[in-house]
Structure 1
Amino acid sequence: MVFTGSNLPAVGEYNQTVVLDAIRRHPHGSTRSKLATFTGLSSMTVANVCRRLLASGLVEERGTHVNGPGKPAAILHLNPGGGFAIGVHIDPAVVTYVLVDLAGEVRDHTRSGTPSAQDPESVIDEMARSIDALITASGVDRSRVLGIGIATPGPVNIEDGIVLNPPMLPHWHRVPLRTALSAATGLPVRLEKDVTAAAVAELWYAEPSDSRDFAFMYYGTGLGTGIAVAGEVVRGISSNAGDPGHMTVDPSGPECVCGRRGCVGYSVTPRALVEKAQGLGILDGELAPGAEGIPQIDEAFTRLAALAGAGDPRAYAVIADAARQLARAVVVIVNLLDIDRVIFGGPFWSRVAPIVLDVLPSVVREDPALVPPHEVRFTESVIPVDVAAVGAASLVFDSTFSPRPSTLLIAAG
């Protein structure tokens, strides 16, 4: 298909997103003249757009700026209460709901056990009730809720809004979440893979000076990777990008379910570390198979991390060895994408962060297989509460307010 020309009716909306995004990226406020300079739009265009944004309640005037003679210029700020988004993160162990305002602040959040999807209708009803209760408890104006974002383990069918068959979610097979939840709540719904949602959140919350090229290493019940290149999230042809699990990091390691040995997604997950610690006699007990063992993994993994943090050499060695294996996967990802930043986060991350960040960076930098000559920075996510849930809410803001030049194009007949 060949694209040509410009979609003139969309220019106004596109300019509005450009100005709104510029205001969002100036948290201390900006004048109209500065916005014109920053965006490259004419002063008249910026004035007209700001008038519409003020009328809609998305921005507000607070304070003035004096620059020489004449009337002081009003300072425009994002209005935090001008819009809200609901973020939902479906994890094998728990579902997290967050209500986020336009400034990115989490106004309220709740959690509930992850329901079985044997009866999809009951799942939708339960989620709709939880969302309604969250909005009611927060006291926000429901008409200001712009939509719902859902972050779920993959694989997913984004086009149809269907959760296909996540390995750690028994019975969640072809659950039509997007359409059904939208019908139940009366709100638009967006669905994304959890690691993609996490990457969207990092971009949405990024400072202007932050790198726009990064990998987000998501450490949950499994290992996932969210990718951003040139400020755009990499989704892949079916929106299921970001699964590094079968990347070999230890050819002599344990056999993975895929038949290979030493797959990173099998070797460094919380279950793998707990099972290794149990085999070495560091921890006692035995894990139940599949999703049934997740509560046990959570508790045992916490004990393992606490032992390692308290100086137990064997517990420390288990986590440090996992960090070295993870480093080998990071080298491959950095080589492949030529990125300069790796961000870590996820529900299990904080418990092992001190040890992994003590071991991993030097292993990556000293690996003879590392190709890019530039420095690679390793940071932790600053997203509050649950990065995937906040990322899910960010999907709503991103789709509503982030400027995309592609919206200006029309297809030639």
Structure 2
Amino acid sequence: MAWTGSNLPAVGEYNQTVVLDAIRRHPDGSTRSKLASVTGLSSMTVANVCRRLLASRLIDEHGTRVSGPGKPAGILRLNPDGGYSVGVHIDPAVVTYVLVDLAGEVRDHTRSGTPSAQDPRSVIDEMARSIDALITTSGVDRSRVLGIGIATPGPVNIEDGIVLNPPMLPHWHKVPLRAALSEATGLPVVLEKDVTAAAVAELWYAEPSDSRDFAFVYYGTGLGTGIAVAGEVVRGISSNAGDPGHMTVDPNGPVCVCGRRGCVGYSVVPRALVERAQREGIMSGTLPAGPAGIAELDEAFSRLAAMATGGDQRAHAVIVDAARQLARAVVVIVNLLDIERVIFGGPFWSRIAPIVLDVLPGVVRDDPALVPPHAVRFTESAIPVDVAAVGAASLVFDSTFSPRASTLLISAD
């Protein structure tokens, strides 16, 4: 989808984001005349915007390109060192920190154990120290760091920047993370639900030809769905959209914590698959309950996936059943949103991806409940390191540089 601008003087800032976004989507470079063509802006408007972007070092001019008679046109590209952002993904098992440049390159990353202290101040202090160390060791110009993006499990209060009470983070109760971390680091902070951050990342890193209508299925300790429609993420009225966990996929399945049977978020997550394998004697051992068992879950799930891909038929059947159940949830999501693509990712995803992607597309395609007549593509996230952490970093760029028609609305106040 190509964003087009406006020549009205009142929306100069919006036009700047339109031009910058167009340059970003052409990594091989673009000329001013090409930018005018793809954005719908006048040549003079594009020239003025590019002058400001060059002065702020957000873009560079490299070489020239000959296209017809006249003076060769300068080639404009993003300046990777024009700005940086820090992305933080808070997972029940680990916190991932990434430093991303304006061109989308991950310059540095690190991980630490997820803080579990009940005192929010100690949590904030530990995160601030990790962020400071990341910026220092990366060697980038600290003055060009635009801000920090945080991706956290929901539910969250985005308006106030508060992490409410994530089920797998029992000590994180109403933590005022945004304001406290901004105060501790001196940087602007944006807070987002992790699955939404992942969807933002997919939009930010998308090729020009990629679909802008998709669902991102996040497979971690829990199951979540980030949604993008017409090139914008769907957040919902409280910014907690994307929780399909209590969607029934097996009426005869195990009883979920909500009291219903066969909820997808209870049936297909790593803990459920490992516990089934242990009950059926495929694997030995018993997982500790709650967040204390995260490390053991990670190890056991890796063993189960390795057995399944290595030829153990019973282990393979466990993953296949999960793929079929997940496919039923995907059908509901596709029907509801009429999307063209489903993207899979998350910390536990890659271990079962070969089996799931061998089974799930056919189950979705052959499901009599599938309504949209078009084909649905199933892909894996190509984003490096940790998609939610990179998504959190993208949030900073997205909030700063991505054009939004909503910014043109004039308030009646």
**Residues in 2 aligned to 1:337 and 1:16: alpha-carbon distance in whole angstroms:** 31
Contact 2:97–2:111 (CA<8 Å) still a contact in 1?
yes
Partner of 1:99: 99
Q: Distance in 1 between matches of 2:37 and 2:244?
A: 42
Please say if 1:162 is aligned against 2:162. yes
Match of 2:127 in 1: 127
- Residue 7 of structure 1: how far off its partner (Å): 12
Aligned CA-pair RMSD: 1.2
Amino acid at match of 2:301: F
Name the residue aligned to 1:340.
340
**1:235-246 superposed matches below 5 A:** 235-246=235-246
Aligned-pair CA distance for 1:45: 0.7
Cα distance in 2 for partners of 1:267, 1:406 equals 39
Distance (whole Å) between structure 1 residues aligned to residue 405 and residue 250 of structure 2:
44
Deviation at residue 34 of structure 1 after TM alignment: 0.7
Shift of 1:411: 1.6
* Equivalent residues of 2:158, 2:191 under 8 A apart: yes
CA displacement 1:321-341 (0-9 Å, x = unmatched): 000000000001001111110
Q: 1:317: which partner in 2?
A: 317
For residue 223 of structure 1, what is the amino acid of its counterpart?
Answer: L
Preserved CA contact (<8 Å) 1:7 1:409: no
Distance 1:344 1:291 in 2: 24
Cα drift, residue 9 of structure 1: 6.7
Query: C-alpha displacement at 1:410, in angstroms?
Result: 1.9
* Contact 1:215–1:227 (Cα < 8 Å) also in 2: yes
Q: Which residue does 2:3 correspond to in 1? A: none
* Deviation of the 1:10 alpha carbon: 4.8
> Offset of 1:69 from its aligned partner?
2.9
Distance of 2:107 and 2:173 partners within structure 1: 32
Q: How does 1:29-68 map to 2 (within 5 A)?
A: 29-68=29-68
Structure 1 residue 290 and structure 2 residue 290: aligned? yes
TM-score computed with the length of structure 1 as normaliser: 0.97
Q: With CA pairs under 8 Å and 6+ residues apart, which has the higher RCO, 1 or 2? A: 1
- The yes-or-no answer on 1:230 pairing with 2:230 is yes
Matches of 2:229 and 2:409 in 1, distance apart? 22
SS at match of 2:165: coil
Partners of 2:29 and 2:206 lie apart in 1 by: 17
Residues 197 and 388, structure 1, Cα contact 8 Å, conserved in 2:
yes
Distance 1:60 1:10 in 2: 26
SS of 1:411's equivalent in the other structure is: coil
Offset at 1:8?
Answer: 6.9
Instruction: Give the AA of the match of 2:55.
Output: A
Q: Secondary structure at the match of 2:343?
A: strand
- 1:10–1:138: structure 2 CA closer, same or farther, 3 Å change rule? farther
The CA distance in 1 between the partners of 2:333 and 2:362, in whole Å, is 16
Greater mean deviation of Cα atoms: 399-408 or 380-389: 399-408
Structure 1 114/190 Cα, relative in aligned 2: closer, same or farther at 3 Å?
same
Structure 2 CA distance for partners of 1:7 and 1:114, relative to 1, 3 Å: farther
Q: Structure 1 vs Structure 2: percent identity of aligned residues? A: 87
Task: Indicate the residue corresponding to 1:191 in structure 2.
Answer: 191
Deviations 1:151-188 (A, max 9, x none): 00000000000000000001100000000000110100
Q: Distance in 1 between matches of 2:156 and 2:203?
A: 22
Amino acid aligned to 1:66: V
Give the superposition deviation at 1:24: 0.4
TM-score (norm 2): 0.97
Q: Does 1:386 align with 2:377?
A: no
Matching residue's letter, 1:40: G
Kept in 1: contact 2:7–2:45 (CA 8 A): no
Give the secondary-structure state (helix, strand or coil) at the position aligned to 1:208. coil
Structure 2 counterpart of 1:74, one-letter code: G
Partner residue in 2 for 1:218 = 218
Deviation at 1:70, TM superposition (A): 2.3
Partner AA of 2:73 in structure 1: A
Residue 402 of structure 2 is aligned to residue 402 of structure 1 = yes
Q: Counterparts of 1:93 and 1:134 in 2: how far apart (Å)? A: 20
Structure-1 residue corresponding to 2:206:
206
Cα distance, 1:350 vs structure 2: 0.2
For residues 201 and 398 of structure 1, the distance between their equivalents in structure 2, rounded to whole angstroms, comes to 9
Instruction: Tell me which amino acid in the other structure corresponds to 1:338.
Output: D
Q: Distance in 2 between matches of 1:258 and 1:388?
A: 27
Is the Cα–Cα contact under 8 Å of residues 8 and 408 in structure 1 kept in the other structure?
no
Count residues in correspondence. 408
Q: How far apart, in 2, do the equivalents of 1:8 and 1:341 lie? A: 36
Alignment-derived partner of residue 254 in structure 1: 254
CA distance in 1, matches of 2:221, 2:111: 17
Q: Please give the residue correspondences for 1:295-310 in structure 2 after superposition, counting only pairs within 5 Å.
A: 295-310=295-310
Change (3 A) 1:76 1:84: same
Q: 1:227 deviation in Å?
A: 0.5
**Contact 2:7–2:42, Cα closer than 8 Å, also in 1:** no
Q: 2:19 touches 2:35 (CA, 8 Å); kept in 1?
A: yes
